[in-house]
């Protein structure tokens, strides 16, 4: 069986793939509960996500980073690659886990930048955009967007055109000064994926934002956690959310 590394800073553990029905589930092999980023652990602040499973693929279609898929195409339904909401979450009425319009995706950016991002999307012509959002009892809002393009070249170009790299690039809505997050280390990276992780720096406005872009073959993920008030958005559940979403795309 293929092995997936759960690469959170709090996890140095292997997660084995096991077949469940027509999909693939992340099984747990010889791990303590405290080693698994998807399970709740009292006191450390992580969220209680359900067991994750990879969706079934069309007959004869390979996984995105397998030897038989040099183009790194995700053949699974993009909506089924979205991370499910954790226990206790209140679903977002607009970002329900289904397809969204370009206009809804543009709402993630500051109003004055939406026209330029819209032009980038028009030029890159994404195939699909799917999104899921929710709010936790402490007021933290989580939003995950998956954008699939016709090739890895278009996805990579979109990251470049947004100026994402050493900086967060085109600002998201309700953000001020956003810099690379020093709490995200190389130990959190997943093979074949490139993540660019940022946190809003003090002094920030009416809310604090953490955000990340992940380039995964033909698909880009944008993960955003936002918390109102003067307290920072919690680091551990943000990293947990990003890592689990990345695992679904790997």
Q: Is residue 26 a part of any domain in this protein?
A: no
CATH of the domain at 105: 3.40.1000
User: Is 231 in contact with 139 (CB distance < 8 Å)?
Assistant: no
The structure tokens listed for 199 are 């946190």
Cα–Cα distance, 186 to 193 (Å, whole number): 12
Phi-psi region of 204 (alpha: psi -120 to 50; beta: other; left: phi over 0): beta
b (16+ CB within 10 A) / e for 148-162: bbeebebbbebbebb
Please tell me the predicted confidence (pLDDT) of residue 202.
85
Q: Which residue has the tokens 């993920």?
A: 221
Q: Where are the beta strands (DSSP E) in 29-81?
A: 53-54
Number of domains comprising the chain: 1
pLDDT of residue 176: 85
Look at residue 8 and tell me if it is in a domain. no
pLDDT of residue 6: 37
Task: Establish if 61 belongs to a structural domain.
Answer: no
Asked if the structure places residue 22 within a domain, the reply is no
Answer whether residue 40 is part of any domain: no
Sequence-ordered alpha helix ranges (H) in 81-220: 102-106, 114-124, 152-161
Q: Which H or E element spans position 219?
A: strand 219-228
The angle subtended at Cα 22 by Cα 221 and Cα 214, nearest 5°, is: 10
The pLDDT score that the predictor gives to residue 25 is 52
Does 19 reside within a domain? no
Adjacency order of strands within the sheet including 3-6: 3-6, 13-20, 23-26, 53-54
pTM: 0.85
Tell me which residue range forms the domain holding 113.
Answer: 74-249
pLDDT in tens, the chain (250 residues): 233 333 333 333 223 233 332 344 553 322 333 444 554 455 679 999 999 999 999 998 999 999 999 999 999 999 999 999 999 999 999 999 999 999 999 999 999 999 999 999 999 999 999 999 999 999 999 999 999 999 999 999 999 999 999 999 999 999 988 999 999 988 899 999 999 999 998 888 899 999 999 999 999 999 999 999 988 999 999 999 999 999 999 9
Q: Is 113 helix (H, G, I), strand (E, B) or coil?
A: helix
Task: Please check whether residue 212 lies inside any domain of the structure.
Answer: yes
Decide if 34 is inside a domain: no
């Amino acid at each position: 069986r293929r092995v997936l590394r759960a690469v959170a800073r709090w996890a140095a553990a292997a997660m084995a793939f096991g077949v469940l029905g027509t999909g693939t589930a992340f099984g747990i092999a010889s791990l303590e509960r405290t080693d698994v980023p998807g399970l709740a652990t009292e006191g450390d602040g992580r969220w209680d996500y359900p067991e994750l499973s990879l969706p079934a693929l069309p007959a004869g279609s390979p996984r995105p980073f397998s030897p038989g898929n040099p183009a790194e195409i995700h053949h699974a339904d993009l909506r089924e690659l979205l991370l499910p909401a954790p226990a206790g979450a209140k679903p977002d009425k607009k970002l329900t886990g289904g397809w969204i319009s370009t206009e809804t995706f543009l709402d993630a950016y500051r109003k004055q930048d939406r026209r330029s991002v819209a032009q980038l999307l028009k030029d890159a012509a994404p195939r699909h955009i799917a999104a899921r959002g929710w709010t936790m009892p402490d007021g933290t809002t989580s939003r995950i967007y998956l954008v699939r393009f016709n090739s890895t070249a278009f996805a990579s170009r979109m990251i470049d055109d947004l100026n994402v790299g050493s900086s967060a690039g085109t600002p998201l809505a309700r953000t001020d000064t956003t810099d690379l997050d020093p709490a995200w280390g190389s130990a959190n990276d997943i093979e074949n994926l490139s993540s660019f992780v940022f946190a809003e720096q003090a002094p920030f406005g009416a809310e604090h934002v953490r955000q990340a872009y992940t380039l995964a073959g033909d698909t880009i993920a944008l993960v955003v956690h936002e918390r109102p008030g003067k307290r920072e958005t919690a680091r551990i559940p943000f990293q947990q959310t990003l890592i689990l979403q990345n695992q679904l795309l790997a």
